[in-house]
Amino acid sequence: MAKGTSGGGARGGLSRPVTPSEDLAAIVGKDPLPRSQVVSKVWDHIRKNNLQNPQNKREILADDKLKKVFGTDKCSMFEMNKHLSRHLS
C-alpha cells in the first residue's frame, strides 16, 4: 500500500482505543476499546435482547440502557454511530 493511503494504521481510525461514557460502559464495559469493538458489543447487546424491530430490521428499539445512549426510544442502525460518538472520548 502506498504511503499516505488509508490502511487502518495501528494508532488511528477504528483501531484507536476510545473510552466509553458511564452510560455506554453499562453495555460495553468501562475499559478503553477500539471503536469497532464498541459497535460490535452494542450489536451483541441488541441481538441478545431482541431489540431490532421485527417489521423493520434497520430500526433499533432501545431498552433502558440504550435509551441513555441514544436519547430516544428508537433509532435506525444508520443513526446509531452518531449517537455512540457522543459517548466516546
Q: What is the mean predicted confidence (pLDDT) over 41-47?
A: 96
Q: What is the pLDDT of residue 7?
A: 47
The total number of structural domains in the chain stands at 1
Is residue 27 in a domain?
A: yes
In a domain, 48, yes or no: yes
Q: Is 26 exposed, middle or buried (0-12, 13-18, 19+ CB in 10 A)?
A: middle
Can you give the residue range of the structural domain that contains 32? 17-85
- pTM equals 0.80
pLDDT at 14: 66
pLDDT at 3 over 70: no
Residue 21: CATH number of its domain: 1.10.245.10
Q: How confident is the model at residue 12 (pLDDT cuts 50, 70, 90)?
A: low
Residue 5 inside a domain? The answer is no
Q: What pLDDT shows up at residue 10?
A: 54
What is the pLDDT confidence band of residue 1, given thresholds at 50, 70 and 90? very low
The answer to whether residue 12 is domain-embedded is no
Residue 10 lies in a domain: no
